[in-house]
Each structure stands twice: as C-alpha cells, then as structure tokens.
Amino acid sequence: MFYDYVDSGSWTETTYRANTDDFKSIKLRQRVAVNMDGRRTDITMVGQAAKMPVAIAPVGLTGMQFADGEIHAARAAEKFGIPFTLSTMSICSIEDVAENTTAPFWFQLYMMRDRQAMSRMIERARDARCSALVLTLDLQVIGQRHKDLKNGLTAPPRPTLRNIVNLATKPAWCLGMMSTKRRTFRNLVGHVQGVSDMRSLSAWTNEQFDPTLSWADVEWVKRQWGGKLILKGIMVAEDARLAVEVGADAIVVSNHGGRQLDGAPSSIEALPPIVDAVSSRTEVWVDGGIRSGQDVLKAWALGARGTMIGRAMSYGLGAMGEAGVACALQLIQKELDITMAFCGHTDIRDVDKRILLPGTFPT
C-alpha cells in the first residue's frame, strides 16, 4: 500500500504518466570537439546553495517507506548538498528532523481551516530554523486515488487480509517500524487541539483541508512566516502572476505529481508559458516526472531555475534508507553532469533551450 501511495496518480493516471512521457519526447542536441573539462552544476535556490538544481520535494508518509524516513532523507540531502523539504503530512515531525540534522531545511504547509493550528505550525518551523516555507496550493480538495482506495490506505490504515499477508513478506520493513516510536503523523498528533491519536487525526483532517483558500490567505501566511516563501502547485501563467503579486520568492510548476487533477497538462508542458510570464520577477521551478539528470537538464534548458524530486527520492529510500537516497542523488547528478558535457557545456548556468532539438519541446 505504501509503494502504491508513491507510485500512482489520480483517476486514470493520464497526467501522472504524461509527467514522465513528455520529458522523454524532448530530444537533446549533441556537440563534439568542445572542451568538457571543469564542469559545474551548482546553483542557488532562493539564496540557498545547492550542488545541482534539485531539492527534495515534500512527500507525505515518507516515514512509512522506511522507518524514520524523513530523517534519513534529510540527512542524505544535507550530506549531498541540496535542500530538503519536510511535508506537513510527514511521519517524523519538524522537531525530529531538526534534532537529527544540522543544515536548515524547508517546511511544506498545507492550508487548513484551523488558522490557530497553522500559526503554531509556522512558529514551530521558525523555531526549528527552517530556511523557507513551501505553501502547497493545489490540495483544497483531494483527488480520487484509486490505488489508495483499493489498498485501504486510510488514517489509520485499514488492516485488510491482503495488506496483512503483504506485510508478512516484508520482515525487514516490519522490524524497522517496530524499532521506532515514529509511526504517526507527528507534525499533527499532539500538536493540534483534539488530535491525540490516528483516529482523531483522520476525523480532523477530513474537515480541515480548506476549499475556500484564496490569495488573501496566502498573504496571511506570508505575514505570519516573514521569511522565504515558495508557492507550489502553479500550472497557468495567470496564477503565476498572482503568486508574484503576493510576494512569492519562488513558484513551483506542479500538478501534484498527477495526484490531483487528472487530465491536466504535464508539468514540463506547463512550464514555458509560466517562465515567459514571470521568470524575470521570481524563481520558477518545476516538479513532476523528473526521474533522471537528463530530466533536470531539460527542465533547466526550458527556463526552470530549480527542480523538486519526490518519487526518485522515495524509491531510493524504500530500497536502502539514507544510502538509497544518497545513491539516487548521485545518479541524478552524474547523469546531469555528463549529459551537459555531451551538449557542449561545462557550466549549467550557461545552458538554455539551444541544447534541445527544435520541434521536440513545448513552447
């Protein structure tokens, strides 16, 4: 059930598949007899140094892919040298990650009706020295995810016979989960009034996602936070302009990994018009469908000044914990570096859409 939670989208999963398929259709122009020595892929994202234009995206339930998963992923990101984002719906809490890392990390906030709870969560992120707040805008209502329904992935998970049999075949996972105290949504349980366990959390959460979210609420969050604000879930130029008007330090072109509006364009298809509309006024990033260093390079060539990865991180984490995340990051960075060289560049900051074959990329 936890693998399917990561490796799936909503309804027919058309947008989920398009996120990766549309990257594959973009072709690269190979150059030869170019000095390829002294390559660099390092940049900054909202002023924070990054070894490559990649940050780990917020992923809910990461601590169910591997025991203490958010801590493992944050440590891997810190050692590698890229930003890590902790989800509101994480298993490890803000404080758990802060206690087990030294580098500042980012915190992702879902807007709930309980503004008092939101204020406390923002304050906790500030106390934990989070260097940016990522406000996700595209979860006012939850898309229908058929695999989660089939698997009984609720809060708490429904112990179906199928799930029990499946867990029996995963002894290492079971031992890991038994050895940790972190098995609930620790950002919420014990921190929100009336939420003391998984059952009370489920009732609270079902009532709390706010369908009335407006740009005035975004301004309220910015005032409450007072630091770097990243707005995630932008898919059209009109919303990108509004994000700039409320003072976003960066926006993330994202369709929630194909888990919300099925039938929407892929993130990479939506990227160029948004770059054209606002890139001179704020940083534009993209997530959704990025599985390789080539995908990162293609996104950069189309104007993204950062990318976020969720599934690529989760696959590595589920396989090998911190070492798996580190391996995934190393693979992405190496492929980015080598592909950039084949395209005739040694510094990613000099790369633009001229490395792409005309007619194969969205405009």
Length of the chain: 363
Choose, from 72, 146, 256, 345, the residue flagged as catalytic.
Answer: 256
List Cβ neighbours of 205 (8 Å cut-off, separation of 6 or more): 155, 188
The CA distances from residue 72 to 2, 19, 169, 276, in Å, are 17, 27, 23, 37
Exposure of 180 by Cβ count < 10 A (0-12 exposed, 13-18 middle, 19+ buried)? middle
Whether 106 and 55 have beta carbons less than 8 Å apart is answered as: yes
Give the closest residue to 30 by CA, choosing from 362, 320, 357, 363. 357
Give me the phi and psi of 120, to 5 degrees please: -65, -40
Q: What is the 8-class DSSP label of residue 336? A: H
Helices and strands in the chain: count of H runs, count of E runs: 16, 10
Within a 10 A sphere around the Cβ of 219, how many other Cβ atoms? 14
In whole angstroms, give the CA distance from residue 19 to residue 265: 8
Residue 47 gets the label, from left (phi > 0), alpha (psi -120 to 50) or beta, of left
Active site residue 256: yes
In whole angstroms, give the CA distance from residue 106 to residue 70: 12
Q: Which residues are catalytic?
A: 256
